């Protein structure tokens, strides 16, 4: 495992950041947004969530069974909704974790001169990352087509640094240095500087049903 930007014990056996796999359910179909310079409540609202449903949240000590941590935190509030969103801010970056991959408007998060990115991973192992700046899509990365040796040079500097920090994870089905399915989740984590669930437990969090 060659992931120069991640401290020891911050990735699971599949190469996903532990803070993300600690939030997901057993069969993840989810996405993570990060945006620089926007508060969590504002980010949730831009993505289409309703402010009247926002709740303060503390993560459970242990991973819930058969559901995501945000879904467990909402409890009965999830009765009529398909998706749970969790948001918080660490330094200049806000993250929004979407446990059903239902939110898409990365460009809107990046409006007014901001930078935003979203990493998506489906139950069918579709893995991608979208990077936007100032309301415009700059780059979409599909892991199936990603060639790290050549493609990094064409990325914006901050995203290139994030992918360099994400590195690679060796599996039998991959050639040496080939991009694995978790690389975009590592890159979006490195971009925002989020590595562990303890990072999240030290900050105020908002959770809300969506959809």
What pTM does this model have?
0.96
- Residue 2 is assigned to a structural domain of this protein: no
pLDDT > 80? residue 2: no
Q: Tell me the CA end-to-end span of the chain in Å, nearest whole number.
A: 37
Determine the Cα–Cα distance for residues 78 and 159; give it in Å rounded to an integer.
34
- Residue 9 is assigned to a structural domain of this protein: no
- Spatial strand order of the sheet with 55-57 comes to 55-57, 205-210, 83-90, 93-98, 30-36, 115-121, 127-133, 136-142
Determine the Cα–Cα distance for residues 211 and 208; give it in Å rounded to an integer.
10
* pLDDT attached to residue 63: 85
- Residue 172 is assigned to a structural domain of this protein: yes
- Residue 10 is assigned to a structural domain of this protein: no
If you average pLDDT over residues 10-39, what whole number do you get?
96
Q: Strand (E) positions, 12-170?
A: 30-36, 55-57, 83-90, 93-98, 115-121, 127-133, 136-142
Q: Could you list the residue range(s) of the whole structural domain that residue 75 is in?
A: 18-210
- Residue 148 is assigned to a structural domain of this protein: yes
Summary mean pLDDT of the chain: 95
Helix (H) or strand (E) holding 210, with range, is: strand 205-210
| CA nearest to 190, candidates 107, 117, 104, 88 | 117
Determine the Cα–Cα distance for residues 67 and 178; give it in Å rounded to an integer.
31
Residue 102 neighbours by CB distance under 10 Å: 18
Helix (H) or strand (E) holding 74, with range, is: helix 69-74
* pLDDT attached to residue 4: 87
Determine the Cα–Cα distance for residues 166 and 184; give it in Å rounded to an integer.
8
For the chain, give the percent of residues with pLDDT over 90.
86
Identify the band that residue 60 occupies on the pLDDT scale cut at 50, 70 and 90: confident
**Contacts of 130 by beta carbon, 8 Å cutoff, 6+ apart:** 106, 117, 118, 120, 137, 139, 140, 141
Number of domains in the chain: 1
- Residue 130 is assigned to a structural domain of this protein: yes
Determine the Cα–Cα distance for residues 116 and 111; give it in Å rounded to an integer.
9
- Residue 125 is assigned to a structural domain of this protein: yes
- Residue 3 is assigned to a structural domain of this protein: no
* pLDDT attached to residue 1: 57
């Amino acid at each position: 495992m060659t992931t120069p930007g991640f401290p020891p014990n911050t990735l699971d056996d599949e190469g996903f950041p532990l803070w993300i796999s600690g939030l997901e359910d057993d069969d993840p179909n989810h996405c993570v947004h990060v945006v620089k310079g926007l508060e969590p409540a504002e980010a949730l609202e831009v993505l289409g969530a309703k402010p009247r449903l926002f709740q303060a949240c503390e993560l459970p000590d242990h991973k819930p069974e058969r559901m995501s941590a945000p879904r467990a935190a909402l409890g009965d509030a999830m009765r009529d909704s398909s998706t749970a969103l969790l948001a918080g801010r660490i330094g200049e970056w806000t993250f929004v974790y979407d446990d059903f991959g239902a939110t898409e408007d990365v460009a809107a998060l990046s409006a007014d001169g901001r930078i935003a990115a979203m990493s998506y991973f489906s139950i069918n192992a579709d893995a991608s990352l979208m990077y936007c700046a100032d309301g415009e899509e700059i780059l979409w990365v599909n892991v199936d087509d990603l060639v790290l040796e050549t493609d990094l040079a064409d990325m914006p500097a901050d995203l290139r640094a994030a992918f360099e920090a994400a590195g690679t994870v060796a599996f039998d089905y991959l050639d040496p240095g080939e991009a694995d399915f978790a690389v975009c989740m590592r890159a979006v984590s490195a971009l925002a500087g989020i590595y562990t669930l303890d990072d999240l437990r030290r900050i105020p969090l908002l959770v809300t049903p969506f959809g």
